[in-house]
Amino acid sequence: MSNLVDEKGPVRRTFRLSPEVNAFLRNPSGMAGFLMLLAVVAMAFLAPFIYPGDPLDMVAQPFLWPGQDPQFPLGTDSLGRDVAAGIVHGSQVSLQIGFSAVLVSLAIGTVVGALAGYFGGIIDDVLVHITELFQTFPTFLLVVVLVALGNPSIGLISSAIGIASWPTIARLVRAEFRSLRASDFVMAARSQGFSSLRIIFQEMLPNALPSIIVTTSVMVASSILIESALAFLGFGDPNRVSWGSMIGAGRESLRTAWFLTALPGGALVLTVLSLNLVGDALNDALNPRLRRRAS
């Protein structure tokens, strides 16, 4: 925001967007992804009002094709459940697990990476070895094992994906902190007697946020795909409908009722695509070199 003083009149205030926001708004693919993601988020919030009933209820005869009955515009599945209701309510599960899993990853990975990158030495060596130990396990296999140990639920699935995915954040934050710890503002903070926790979380972490934000947008998409794969294999929450469980239920009727897998699969693809487009646009907007090149 800038103030313009007119000699003949009062002060006029002009609001200006930051260069990062302007760069994002000028990115066509980023805006397309943002609008698609906004539509999915709106669908998830409005799901109880659009379809107030339980999407798992059998409400009509099985295998109604899209358009065959106006009351069920996307048809019904093999058990007579409304496909449209399942897709709308499934967006809640996908977004809830996607963002919750990333929050778990951020909480673990940020702390581990920040401590390793800031202190270095033996602390860095120990934390790097722990990170590498987790990376030796295939992410999806580790998630399956963690979910299978308990009763599958939204909270357990989110925690399992977050626990299996945090090394990505840890390595990124460690690299950022290693490049920042010799910066002038960090040296100045140390000379003023600031505590290590204050320097890490108030001085260094905000400077590492652009890279973290870009990575988390991609990780949300990855978490949604992992949840869908789990539900497809029967490891999803049995009390909640998800796009993965709908795809898994429709695979037996793939040749006779292909829409049972194509419709939730399309919703999944569009959501993941929107997150990837937003992530690419954020990378271009938050990276000074790419922003100058685009302008």
Asked whether the predicted pLDDT for residue 226 surpasses 90, the reply is yes
In a domain, 8, yes or no: no
Quickly state the pLDDT bin for 1 (edges 50, 70, 90).
very low
Per-position DSSP letters for 267-287, written without gaps between them:
HHHHHHHHHHHHHHHHHHHH-
In a domain, 285, yes or no: yes
Q: What is the pTM of this model?
A: 0.86
- CATH number of the domain where residue 30 is located: 1.10.3720.10
In a domain, 9, yes or no: no
Quickly state the pLDDT bin for 2 (edges 50, 70, 90).
very low
Kindly report, residue by residue over 76-122, the tens digit of the pLDDT. Answer: 998 999 999 999 999 999 999 999 999 999 999 999 999 999 998 99
Asked whether the predicted pLDDT for residue 288 surpasses 70, the reply is no
Question: Which pLDDT score is estimated for 14?
Answer: 55
**In the chain, pLDDT over 70 holds for what percent of residues?**
92
In a domain, 12, yes or no: no
In a domain, 150, yes or no: yes
Residue type, 118: Y
Kindly report, residue by residue over 18-58, the tens digit of the pLDDT. Answer: 777 888 888 899 999 999 999 999 999 999 999 998 999 99
Place of tokens 């029967």: 234
What's the domain count of the chain?
Answer: 1
Kindly report, residue by residue over 143-177, the tens digit of the pLDDT. Answer: 999 998 888 889 999 999 999 999 999 999 999 99
Task: Give the residue numbers spanning the domain of 119.
Answer: 18-294
Question: Which pLDDT score is estimated for 144?
Answer: 92
In a domain, 6, yes or no: no
Residue 84 CB contacts under 8 Å (≥ 6 apart), including other chains: 51, 72, 73, 74
In a domain, 1, yes or no: no
In a domain, 62, yes or no: yes
CA distances from 258 to 84, 246, 284 (A): 15, 12, 38
Per-position DSSP letters for 211-257, written without gaps between them:
HHHHHHHHHHHHHHHHHHHHHHTT-S-TTS--HHHHHHHHGGGTTT-
Report which DSSP code applies to 6: -
